[in-house]
């Protein structure tokens, strides 16, 4: 069951460009190999500090330099965050992700308050995730000591296209933060956004960067750009549901053990479209009326959709324990020098189908 890390852009593009029905079948097969297809995690994303960011990310309404009529707020109090976390838990969320519009974490009273927020949510028996910008190794260790479960730091797109979207932070800066998180026991959440004007090659390039991380991220959010008036990407056309399905399916095949998070852009997706994403391998959503600053489906609508599709809500910490077991088995296989059963999922499926077709013809 070993995970393949040395994917090439050409291999991933070959998967991405498959006939859609074949791609769906392949991805669903991989998904069932590593995950319960009827279980989806529900997470809540909470903006604990909104607006005023010094970065120039072309998609983000929180950048101070853009005029987006965003109502900003200073860092929330620990009690406010606890109240929101309890509300999220009562609605079915097993993870709370706290986001602050910072370029990087600065040591001091505000970071101390964030650490206390992490401790507080951790005591509620919920997974705690943060997305706070760039981290040093010491700051990552302090978050680990406070009980942080996951740290989100998206690559956004391919290294080649990155400079077309952001100039105030380099691609290597993002990889360095992920490396600092990996020096702790905190899990990694890193993905990207499609629909920013990039090509399919850039989508494949982003997946190459993520897949080559060792271990691969425990979570990969796939976002559809939500164009916001006042940002440089305000006139971008919204991606189609077929593009989202292809991206989710390809991500599932390339990173079979990862939780693929169906993130921003769900308000433009029908239930049928979201169901196809779940079939393709998405096994996590963000609930609540907002994703930091962009609209999101109401949690009651999500629960109704879960009921219609027969989906169960994943319990906190459940997935990480399963993955650790699989990774332990992977290491045993490597130590014995045995050929892993699962090295190139998509290609293995193709070979199996070819063999089946020959039998039918015979």
**Residues known to be catalytic:** 53, 57, 60, 97, 129, 189, 261
Between CA 294 and CA 285 the distance in angstroms is 15
Torsion angle defined by CA atoms of residues 44, 48, 54 and 55, in that order, rounded to the nearest 10 degrees: -10
Instruction: Confirm or deny that 277 is annotated as ligand binding.
Output: no
**DSSP notation for 259-285:** EEEE-TTGGGS-HHHHHHHHHHTEEEE
Nearest to 253 by CA among 32, 19, 39: 32
Residues contacting residue 69 through CB under 8 Å, at least 6 positions apart: 230
331: which 2 tokens? 């290491």
Q: By the 8 A CB rule, do 206 and 155 touch?
A: yes
Sort strands 282-287 and 290-291 into parallel, antiparallel or unpaired: unpaired
Whether residue 130 is annotated as binding a ligand: the answer is no
3-state SS assignment for residue 156: strand
Torsion of CA 237, 97, 69, 243, to 10 degrees: 0
Owner of token pair 């199996």: 352
Residue 272 contacts residue 238 (beta carbons within 8 Å): no
Q: Is 129 annotated as a binding residue?
A: yes
On the 0-12 / 13-18 / 19+ scale of CB atoms within 10 A, 288 is buried
53 assigned ligand-binding residue:
yes
Q: Which residues are annotated as a binding site for [2Fe-2S] cluster?
A: 97, 129, 189, 261
Q: Which residues are annotated as a binding site for [4Fe-4S] cluster?
A: 53, 57, 60
């Amino acid at each position: 069951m070993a995970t393949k890390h040395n994917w090439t852009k050409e291999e991933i593009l070959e998967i991405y460009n498959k006939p859609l029905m074949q791609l769906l079948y392949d991805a669903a097969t991989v998904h069932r190999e590593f995950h319960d297809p009827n279980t989806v995690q529900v997470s809540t994303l909470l903006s604990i500090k909104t607006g005023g960011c010094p970065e120039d990310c072309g998609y983000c309404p929180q950048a101070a330099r853009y005029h987006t009529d965003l109502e900003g707020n200073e860092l929330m109090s620990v009690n406010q965050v606890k109240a929101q976390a309890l509300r999220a838990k009562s609605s079915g969320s097993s993870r709370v992700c706290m986001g602050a519009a910072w370029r990087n974490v600065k040591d001091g009273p505000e970071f101390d308050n964030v650490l206390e927020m992490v401790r507080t949510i951790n005591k509620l028996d919920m997974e705690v995730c943060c997305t706070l910008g760039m981290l040093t190794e010491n700051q990552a260790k302090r978050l680990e000591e406070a009980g942080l479960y996951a740290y989100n730091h998206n690559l956004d797109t391919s290294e080649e296209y990155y400079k077309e979207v952001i100039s105030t932070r380099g691609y290597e800066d993002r990889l360095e933060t992920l490396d600092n998180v990996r020096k702790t026991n905190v899990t990694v959440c890193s993905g990207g956004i499609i629909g920013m004007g990039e090509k399919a090659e850039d989508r494949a390039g982003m997946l190459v960067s993520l897949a080559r991380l060792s271990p691969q991220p425990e979570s990969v959010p796939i976002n559809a750009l939500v164009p916001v008036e006042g940002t440089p990407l305000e006139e971008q056309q919204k991606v189609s549901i077929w593009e989202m399905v292809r991206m989710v399916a390809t991500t599932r095949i390339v990173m079979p053990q990862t939780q693929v998070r169906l993130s921003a852009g769900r308000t433009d997706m029908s239930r049928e479209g979201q169901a196809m994403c779940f079939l393709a391998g998405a096994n996590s959503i963000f609930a609540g009326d907002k994703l930091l600053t962009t609209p999101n489906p109401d949690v009651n609508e999500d629960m109704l959709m879960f009921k219609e599709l027969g989906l169960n809500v994943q319990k906190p910490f459940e997935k990480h324990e399963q993955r650790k077991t699989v990774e332990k088995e992977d290491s045993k296989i490597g130590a014995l020098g045995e050929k892993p059963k699962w090295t190139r999922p998509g290609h293995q499926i193709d070979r199996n189908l070819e063999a089946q077709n020959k039998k039918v013809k015979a």
